[in-house]
Amino acid sequence: MSPAGAAGVNYAIADAVATANHLAVPLRTGTIAVADLQRVQRRREPAVRIAQALQRQQTRQLARLAPTSPTTSNRTANLPGGS
């Protein structure tokens, strides 16, 4: 998860809860298998994909709104072809 929207820790907690729910018994009984990990992945992936899509959208919007820094403009103006 990217820092955009400051949502990552919420998702990390939900991941931890889902992981504990799915893996506690197989870990205790020593029967854990790849299929148990795949269950966690299936449970969490849809929500995480949606959050990441929203983060990408937010990041693009912020990039469009970001003012051009005067320092950057001055530097650009001094470059060949700059204005």
Ligand X SMILES: Cc1cc2nc3c(=O)[nH]c(=O)nc-3n(C[C@H](O)[C@H](O)[C@H](O)COP(=O)(O)OP(=O)(O)OC[C@H]3O[C@@H](n4cnc5c(N)ncnc54)[C@H](O)[C@@H]3O)c2cc1C
Q: Interface with ligand X by CB under 6 A: which residues?
A: 1, 3, 6-10, 12, 15
Q: How near is the Cβ of 15 to ligand X at its closest, in Å? A: 6
Complex with ligand X: residue 10 or 72, whichever CB lies closer: 10
Residues 6+ apart with CB under 8 A from 76: 82, 83
Q: How near is the Cβ of 12 to ligand X at its closest, in Å? A: 3
* Spatial distance between the Cα atoms of 43 and 76, rounded to a whole number of angstroms: 48
Q: What are the CA-CA distances from residue 1 to residues 4, 23, 37, 61 (Å)?
A: 8, 22, 19, 18
Complex with ligand X: residue 3 or 80, whichever CB lies closer: 3
Closest CA to 23 of 37, 10, 9: 37
Complex with ligand X: residue 50 or 73, whichever CB lies closer: 50
Q: How near is the Cβ of 16 to ligand X at its closest, in Å? A: 7
